[in-house]
Structure 1
Amino acid sequence: MDYEGPILDDHLHLDPVNGQDTAAVETFADAGGTHLLVLNKPSWSLGVEVDAAADFREGFDLTVEAVERATEVLDGRAWPVLGVHPALISRLVDRGYTPEEARDLMCAGLEVAAEYVDDGPALAIKSGRPHYDVDEAVWTASNAVMRHAFAVGAEADCAVQLHTEGGEAFGDIADWAEERGLPREQVVKHFAGSRTVGPVPSVLAKKPKIEGAIEQGRPFMLETDFIDDPDRPGAVLGPKTVPRRTRWLLETGHEDAVRTVHVGTPARVYGIDTEATLEG
């Protein structure tokens, strides 16, 4: 691949407790990848059960440390994106919390995540709502958590990545963000469809989805949602995928799309300069 520019995976997980951790980053870098946004895994998957706001820090700190190791491997760098996985509400309710109690704890966790943005190591926060069927009380509480994430993001002046149900029409969610002071350009729909409306789409790096996103002519990014789970190796996509898809885009004459994905959209959404942070 005759390309020396940045290659960013917008949504990847590292598991320093159970998974490949830095070895996955080395795989990404060997394939040509230069920059990563690393999302903290759900707290319970790292062996952490939360019952107070401070309990979120253990998972956040593990992710920050994993990102520091990742940056040592990359020609560019990695950034943490920290927050509260929306499925936590179901886990808390199963443990005896009311939906409202779970909501309040998750909102407190988002405020802790924002401290990591304010203090420097984290780039953005994550939130969302369940991607599976829940009862009305849990759905209402989950939407309240997501709205709070937008207010927290606006206060911290950072983007919010969203994990939600499938679909492509999310204009109402972008409106909620703007009502709370967060521009819709700073709302990112993780695992987005190519025709996602409202937030900025972070598109799973599969060829048909990428082709659809290019046809829309809107800013977008690429992700693997690699989950670093030894029981599901390569899920959702392996860490080589975004560099490989970037090579394919270049080979098929989509140089403009490569610049949009890896330079223009990250600058617009997160305020990062993937070229200036690329060595040599």
Structure 2
Amino acid sequence: MTDDLDTPVLDNHLHLDPRHGRGVDAVKDFVRLGGTHLLVVNKPSWHLGVEPDEPTDFRPVFEETLDAVAAANEVLPGRAWPVLGVHPGLISRLVDDRGFSPEDARDLMQGGIEVASEFVADGDALALKSGRPHYDVSDAVWAASNAVTRRAFELGAALDCAVQLHTEASEDLTDLAAAAEEVGLDPTRVVKHYAEGRLAGLTPSVMSEKDRLERAAESGEPFLMETDYVDDPEKPGMVLGPKTVPRRVRWLLEAGYDDAVRRAHVETPRAVYEIDTESTLNRDT
């Protein structure tokens, strides 16, 4: 039985892995607690056994994500959309483990994002995913990573789509906002996943921990909510489980943050992704 909330409930960033993980069963948990909409991000390529040599090697990773989204759409009262791209941590696997130069790794990762952009152009995916490492790297790897991110911004501008980013922990990413603006992408359509409760420069996708959500709710600024659920049987509930966003929405409503809930689940998704979480919601399905 669905535990309905009187609002759309969107988890802005999680992973589904029907091959290794819980797949649609995790989606059913989300729905039972009142969840309605998902943005499903492809898992890092190496988690699916792909060690790319050419940009086309990423294609099966993206296609598997589309299949997971199709299965989710069978059980959601709203709908799911794919977000496709190349995890920034790949650069370290390429450079440190496989002997790529930072420049060659940059070129391969940019090519992978270009393949992802084909799915967006065809209407099969909603947004792109890129970013830079959240850990210390050499200057050459940092420069290469920023170049990959800039390419994602260029493609986002050309396709008029949002870009999700994995980055270092920070409450000030105005440097990336400036890079987006330079290539014609509105920085409000660049989303930092795994964000704190406040963020300068980009739109935060806030990890659904109470302290972070309280700061986001009280800021009055646009934000999204996420779990970064990884759907790995060896790491159940990591990072947060699929029930978390609907539970936190209920907690926010009970605390009187009705406006913040509407901001996170209706207004910000519309502004960032041009999706309508209200018109795509049918509680009878």
Corresponding residue SS for 2:93: helix
Q: Which of residues 21, 32, 35 in structure 2 aligns to 1:33?
A: 35
In structure 1, what is the Cα distance between the partners aligned to 2:181 and 2:42?
25
Aligned pair 1:59/2:61, yes or no? yes
Aligned pair 1:260/2:260, yes or no? no
Q: CA deviation at 1:3?
A: 3.1
Q: Percent identity?
A: 63
Q: Which of residues 170, 175, 183 in structure 1 aligns to 2:173?
A: 170
In structure 1, what is the Cα distance between the partners aligned to 2:18 and 2:109?
23
In structure 1, what is the Cα distance between the partners aligned to 2:18 and 2:177?
33
**Residue-by-residue CA offset, 1:32-91 (whole Å, 9 max, x unaligned):** 100000000000101111111110100000000000000111000000000000011111
**Residue in structure 1 matched with residue 136 of structure 2 by the alignment:** 133
In structure 2, what is the Cα distance between the partners aligned to 1:227 and 1:3?
25
Corresponding residue SS for 1:154: helix
- Count the aligned residue pairs: 280
In structure 1, what is the Cα distance between the partners aligned to 2:167 and 2:77?
32
CA contact (8 A) 2:55 2:111 kept: yes
Which structure 2 residue ranges, 5 or more long, are not aligned?
none
**Residue-by-residue CA offset, 1:121-162 (whole Å, 9 max, x unaligned):** 100000000011111111110011011110011111100000
CA contact (8 A) 2:5 2:34 kept: no
* 2:13 aligned partner, one-letter code: H
CA contact (8 A) 2:220 2:260 kept: no
In structure 2, what is the Cα distance between the partners aligned to 1:89 and 1:3?
41
**Residue in structure 1 matched with residue 273 of structure 2 by the alignment:** 270
**Residue in structure 2 matched with residue 226 of structure 1 by the alignment:** 229
In structure 1, what is the Cα distance between the partners aligned to 2:236 and 2:254?
28
In structure 1, what is the Cα distance between the partners aligned to 2:4 and 2:143?
50
Q: Which of residues 148, 152, 156 in structure 1 aligns to 2:155?
A: 152
Aligned pair 1:108/2:111, yes or no? yes
In structure 2, what is the Cα distance between the partners aligned to 1:278 and 1:216?
27
Q: CA deviation at 1:2?
A: 6.7
* 1:217 aligned partner, one-letter code: G
CA contact (8 A) 2:59 2:115 kept: yes
- Provide the TM-score with structure 2 as the length reference: 0.96
Alignment CA distance shift 1:243-1:181 (3 Å): same
Aligned pair 1:77/2:95, yes or no? no
CA contact (8 A) 2:253 2:261 kept: yes
Alignment CA distance shift 1:235-1:249 (3 Å): same
More divergent stretch after superposition (13-22 vs 76-85): 13-22
* 2:20 aligned partner, one-letter code: N
CA contact (8 A) 2:227 2:242 kept: yes
**Residue-by-residue CA offset, 1:237-270 (whole Å, 9 max, x unaligned):** 0000000001111111111111101000000000
* 1:202 aligned partner, one-letter code: S
CA contact (8 A) 2:4 2:33 kept: no
Which structure 1 residue ranges, 5 or more long, are not aligned?
none
In structure 1, what is the Cα distance between the partners aligned to 2:25 and 2:4?
25
